[in-house]
Amino acid sequence: MSDKLIVEKRGHVALITMNNPPANTWTQEGLQALITTVTELNQDDSIYALVLVSDSDKFFSAGADLNLFADGNKERAYTMARLFGEAFETLSGFRGVSIAAINGWSMGGGLEVALACDIRIAEEKATMALPEASVGLLPCAGGTQNLTRLVGEGWAKRMILCGERVNAGKALEIGLVEEVVANGQSREVALALAEKVGAQSPKAVAACKVLVQHTRQGSHNEALRMERELFLDLFDTEDQQEGVNAFLQKRKPEWKNR
């Protein structure tokens, strides 16, 4: 593991804190740590959700350290692009619910990691951008694809091609974030939302997430077939019977994630 990411388990929620001051830029060490962390959380049946936060009051994350690309080394660029992609795709593939608590500047790879999460909570002071083209680069960790899916082609082009930054209010308006909260409150709100995940069957949540994300590339008819198949697959789990019987018996379910 790495001190670039601090992981704290709070019941069924994993709190992951980016810890690379002053701006939480992503390094090879940090990206590899993210891959390892999420992979291990996927194997921990007691974890149903994760919350990604920053240790900085000013920055959520400033993205990649541009010093890595200053000499034009293509081999290093390939290594970093591959790692960025693998890390954020691993995060996107987390079986539970992932929530980004955006408390400040979220730039480039710092926004891309938030885009890889299922839900984004932004503080009023937050500013978001994908400014890579302004330094002769492009978003290579899912930014062009995930941003466009969230906000549509027009706003994606404004942010990527024109370098437009958006504040929290505009981000909420265009669908880039799901909620805006007062400064200093994003972590608590995100953790409270993550706690709600514990009321759902983790097996059902994982299946639902697969179906929702399938809309990014699969056909409608195929998704309808998958819905029925995954619905029936839940009947092979203990949680299916626990959930239905708990409801009928008017008690809270005790999930086992199996």
Strand partners, 13: 10, 49
Q: How far apart are CA 102 and CA 52, in angstroms?
A: 8
Does the annotation count 112 as an active-site position?
Answer: yes
| Closest of 38, 32, 39, 40 to residue 3, by C-alpha | 32
List the catalytic residue out of 86, 89, 123, 132: 132
Q: How far apart are CA 101 and CA 114, in angstroms?
A: 8
Q: How far apart are CA 186 and CA 231, in angstroms?
A: 34
| Closest of 161, 33, 54, 51 to residue 106, by C-alpha | 54
Give the SS3 label for residue 3. coil
User: Helix H segments across the chain?
Assistant: 28-42, 74-92, 109-115, 143-160, 168-174, 186-197, 202-214, 220-233, 238-248
Task: Tell me which residue has tokens 């505009």.
Answer: 170
| Closest of 210, 216, 251 to residue 234, by C-alpha | 210
Does the annotation count 75 as an active-site position?
Answer: no
List the catalytic residue out of 29, 40, 86, 112: 112
Catalytic residues: 112, 132
